Chains A and B, each alone.
Chain A
Amino acid sequence: MADLFDGIWWSGYVWPTLITILLILCIMIPIMLSVAYLTLAERKVIGWMQLRKGPNVVGPFGLLQPIADALKLLMKETIIPAGANPVLFLIAPMLTFVLALIAWAVIPFSDGMVLADINVGVLYLFAISSLGVYGIIIAGWASNSKYAFLGALRSAAQMVSYEVSIGFVIVTVLLCVGSLNLSDIVRSQAGGGFWNWYFLPLLPMFVVFIISALAETNRAPFDLPEAEAELVSGYNVEYSAMAFALFFLGEYANMILMSGMTVVLFLGGWLPPVDAQPFTWIPGPIWFAIKIAFVLFIFLWVRATFPRYRYDQLMRLGWKVFLPLSLFWVIATAGFLVAFDLLPHSMN
C-alpha cells in the first residue's frame, strides 16, 4: 500500500487529475449558468421584439425564472413509454448533453487559457458537433412514436447536409491560418483590431457559417425537427422531466458552442476590436463572452424574425446553394493565396 502514496503516484496521476477536474468545473459551471440565462434572454428578447414584456413575475425583472423552470423539471416524474426501448431512451438525452459539454475542452478563452490545447482542435470540434445527431436519432427511434421518429429522421438529414458546408467554410479559414489549432487561428487574426478578423475578407463564408450553424443546432428558421405545428414537438415529444431538461440544456449549450466557434473562426476570439489603450485593458475572456453574446443575439433575432423553412427548401438551400458556393470559395481562396504568395508557411 505504501507504493500507492508514493511521490510519483501522487504527483504523476492523482494531482493532475484533481487539477483537471477543477478546471473542467471552472468551464462547466459558467456554461450551465449561461445556458440557464440564455433561456431567459431568449424569452425576454423575443418578448421585446414582439412588444411584450417577457417573463417578469419570478424575481426582479424575471431573473429567477430559469431557476424556477429548472426546479419544476427536477420535481416532475420521468415517464418511460411502455413501447419504448428503455436503455436507449435514457441514453439519448445523456448523449446530447455530454456531447454539448465535451466540445468545450478545446475552446480557447484567452491566450493559453484552454483545457486541452490539441493540434487538431478544429477537427475535434467538427467531429463532436457531427456526433450531436445521434442523441436526436436515438431518441426518435427509442421513443417508438411516429412523431418522434419523423422528427429524428428530418434532423439527421438536415444535420448531415449542413455539416458539409460547415466543413468547407472551416477549410477556407484553415487555408488562411495554416494550422488546425484553435489558439493559432485566433493568433493569426491578431494585430490591427477588427480589420484583421476573418469575417471581413471571408464575408460570404461568414454568412454561410452563421446560417449553417442555425441549421446544425436545429434553431429557427430551420427548426423542422421540432416543428410544433406538424410534429407536436418532434424527437423529444415522449420525454418528460429531467430527460427533457437534458435535451433542452444540450440544445442551448450547442447554441453557445456554435457561437463560440463562430467567434474563434471569424470574430477574433479573445482579441479586442481595436488594438489600442482603453480596449486592451479589458481581459480576453470578457471580450470572448461579449462576442459570444452578440452572436447569440443574432440567433434569437433570427428566431423572432423569420418564418420556418419548408423541408424541400431547406434541402435545396443546403445542397444547391451553400455547397457549390462554399466549394467555389475554397478554390477561390486557395487560388488567391497561391497567386499572391500569401500562404502561411511558418506554423507546422
Chain B
Amino acid sequence: MAFAGFMFYIFAAICVACGVMVVTSRNAVHSVLFLILAFFNAAGLFVLIGAEFLAMILVVVYVGAVAVLFLFVVMMLNVNFTELRRGAKNYVYVGATLGGILFLELAIVATSWTLGPQMSAITLGPVVGAVSNTRSIGQVIYTDYVYLFQGASLILLVAMVGAIVLTLRQRAGVKKQVIADQVSRSSKDELIIVKVDSGSGI
C-alpha cells in the first residue's frame, strides 16, 4: 500500500502542477499539451483506485480524440494570447473575490459532508471481488440507467447534427467525384483507337 500512496502523490502533484501550467503558460499550444498531461495523470489516479476501465476510456476519449482536436484548432488559429491578457490585471480583484467565494462554498460543502456507514466502507478502496469494474459499469449504465444514458447520447447526437447544419454551406462550382461513376467506367466508353494516316491528322 505504501507504494500506491507514493504513486498517488506523484500523479496528484503532476496533475495539479499541469493544471497550473495550463492557465499560466504563455503559449496556447503548451497549455493544451499540459492539459493532456493532466488528463493522463488523472487516468493514473483512476488506475490507483481500481477503476481501470474509466482510466482507459479517459485516455481514449479525452487524450486520444478530444485533445487532438483542441491541439488542431489551437495550432491552426494562431491566437496571440499575450495580446488577450494585456488588461487582465484590472480584473484581479473581481476574479479573486469570485474565486474566494467559490472556495469558501467548496470548503463548507467538503467539511460538512457525511457518508452513510455502508458508503464509507465501500469508498475505502477498490472492491476486489468476482465482478470486474468493466462489467459493473455496463450493468449500471445499460440496466439501471439505460433510458438516461440513451437520452444523453441523443442530446449529443442532436448537438452534432446542429453543428454540421450550422457549418454546412453549398458552394456553386465545386467539382465532386462520384465514386460509383468512376468504378463503373470501362475502356469501351472512354477509349477510342484510331488509325491515323501520316500527314492527315484526325
User: Which residue numbers of A lie inside 8 Å of B, CB to CB?
Assistant: 13, 88, 118-120, 123-124, 126-127, 130-131, 133-134, 137-138, 141, 149, 153, 156-157, 160, 163, 167, 180, 312-313, 316, 348
Are A127 and B29 interface neighbours, CB within 8 A?
Answer: no
Tell me which of A88, A127, A138 has the highest count of chain B C-beta atoms within 10 A of its own C-beta.
A127
Task: Give the 9 A-B CB pairs with smallest separation, nearest first.
Answer: A130-B64, A123-B56, A127-B59, A127-B60, A120-B52, A120-B56, A127-B56, A348-B132, A119-B132
B145 to chain A: closest CB distance in Å?
A: 20
Whether B63 lies near A130 (C-beta < 8 A) is yes
- Complexed CA–CA distance, A224 and B36 (Å): 26
Q: Contact check: which of B52, B65, B132 meets A160 at CB < 8 Å?
A: B65
Shortest distance from the beta carbon of B50 to any chain A beta carbon, whole Å: 10
**Chain A residues closer than 8 Å to B56, beta-carbon distance:** 120, 123-124, 126-127
* Contact, CB under 8 Å: B57 / A134: no
Neighbouring A residues of B3 by C-beta, 8 Å: 13
Residues of chain B lying within 8 A (CB to CB) of residue A160 = 64-65, 68-69
B53 contacts A120, C-beta separation under 8 Å? yes
User: Contacts A123-B53, A131-B59, A312-B177; is A137 near B132 (CB within 8 Å)?
Assistant: no
| Extra A-B contacts (16), CB below 8 Å, given A120-B56, A127-B63 | A118-B52, A120-B52, A123-B56, A126-B56, A127-B59, A130-B63, A134-B36, A141-B29, A149-B75, A153-B76, A156-B71, A157-B72, A163-B64, A180-B134, A348-B130, A348-B131
Cβ distance B127 to chain A, nearest Cβ, rounded Å? 13
Which B residue sits closest to A317, measured CB to CB? B179
Interface residues on B, range: 20 to 34
The answer to whether B65 and A163 have CB atoms under 8 Å apart is: yes
Q: Which residues of B contact A (CB under 8 A)?
A: 3, 29, 33, 36, 52-53, 56-57, 59-60, 63-65, 68-69, 71-72, 75-76, 130-132, 134-135, 177, 179
With beta carbons under 8 angstroms apart, the residue of B59, B71, B130, B134 that contacts A137 is B71
CB closest chain-B residue, reference A320: B179
- CB-defined A-B contacts under 8 Å, sample of 24: A13-B3, A88-B33, A120-B56, A123-B53, A123-B56, A126-B60, A127-B56, A127-B59, A127-B63, A130-B59, A130-B63, A133-B64, A134-B36, A134-B68, A137-B71, A137-B72, A153-B72, A156-B72, A163-B64, A312-B177, A313-B179, A316-B179, A348-B130, A348-B135
B3, B63, B68 pick with most chain A CB within 10 angstroms: B68
Bound Cα distance from A241 to B57, whole angstroms: 36
Q: Provide the residues of chain A in CB contact with B69, threshold 8 Å.
A: 160
**Residues of chain B contacted by A312 (CB below 8 angstroms):** 177
Cα A137 to Cα B72 with chains together (Å): 8
Question: How distant is the Cα of A141 from the Cα of B68 in the complex, in angstroms?
Answer: 13
Residue of A13, A119, A131, A167 touching B52 (CB-CB under 8 A): A119
Residues of A within 8 A of B179 (CB): 313, 316
For residue A316, which residues in chain B have a CB less than 8 angstroms away from its CB? 179
**Within the assembled complex, what's the spacing in Å between the Cα atoms of A118 and B12?**
23
Instruction: Give Cα A133 to B130, complex, Å.
Output: 37
Contact A131 B134 (CB under 8 A): no
| In the bound complex, CA of A316 to CA of B176 (Å) | 12
Query: Using Cβ atoms and an 8 Å threshold, which residues of chain B touch A123?
Result: 53, 56-57, 60
**How far does the alpha carbon of A118 sit from the alpha carbon of B64 in the complex, in Å?**
20
Nearest residue in B to A178 (C-beta to C-beta)? B135
Closest chain B CB from A214 CB (angstroms): 19
Interface centre among B64, B68, B75 (most CB of A within 10 A): B64
**A133 closest partner in B (C-beta):** B68
**Which of B53, B65, B72, B131 meets A130, CB within 8 Å?**
B65
Chain B residues in 8 Å Cβ range of A156: 68, 71-72
Chain A residues, CB < 8 A from B68: 133-134, 137, 156, 160
Nearest-neighbour CB distance to chain B for A263, whole angstroms, equals: 21
Residues of A within 8 A of B52 (CB): 118-120
State the CA gap A138–B131 with chains docked (Å). Answer: 40
Q: Which partner residue on chain A sits nearest B131 by CB separation?
A: A348
Interface hub of B56, B57, B131, B177 (most chain A Cβ within 10 A)? B56
User: Is B72 in contact with A120, judged by CB distance below 8 angstroms?
Assistant: no
Residues of A within 8 A of B135 (CB): 348
A348–B135 CA distance with the chains assembled, in angstroms: 7
Distance in angstroms from B67 CB to nearest chain A CB is 9
Complex alpha-carbon distance, A137 and B109, angstroms? 42
Please measure, in the bound complex, the distance between the C-alpha atom of A138 and the C-alpha atom of B37, giving whole angstroms.
14
Which of chain A's residues has its CB closest to B64's CB?
A: A130
Contacts of A163 in B (CB 8 A): 64-65
